[in-house]
């Protein structure tokens, strides 16, 4: 599964296109930092969709076991994302 990567806002400006391609290809989560603080996150679209499906399901009434969204079933669960994520700091 993907890893976590930290990238400064200046590097993001310089390498946005290649960074987006890396996130898309690898599925890693990329944290954007400014002055040493995380200010944004870039996620692979499949992870984003899975998170949104889970949020929607947690907010909707009814039997949760049968209401899991298609994106979640097809791609990955939040538990799976967290279980297989490693932290890697960008040098």
Number of domains in the chain: 1
Global confidence as pTM:
0.59
Q: Residue 71: which of 47, 55, 90, 88 has the closest Cα? A: 47
| pLDDT digit string (tens) for the chain, length 91 residues | 456 789 999 999 999 999 999 998 888 889 999 999 999 999 988 888 888 888 887 777 665 555 555 555 544 555 555 555 544 444 4
Tell me the CATH number at 78: 3.40.1620.10
Q: CA 54, CA 61: separation in Å to the nearest integer?
A: 13
């Amino acid at each position: 599964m993907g890893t976590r990567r930290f990238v400064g806002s200046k590097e993001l400006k310089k390498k946005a296109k290649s960074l987006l391609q890396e996130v898309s290809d690898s599925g890693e989560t990329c944290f954007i930092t400014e002055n040493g603080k995380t200010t944004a996150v870039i996620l692979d679209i499949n992870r984003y969709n899975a998170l949104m499906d889970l949020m929607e399901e947690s907010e909707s009434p009814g039997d949760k076991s049968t209401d899991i969204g298609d994106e979640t079933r097809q791609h990955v669960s939040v538990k799976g994302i967290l279980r297989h994520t490693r932290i890697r700091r960008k040098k």
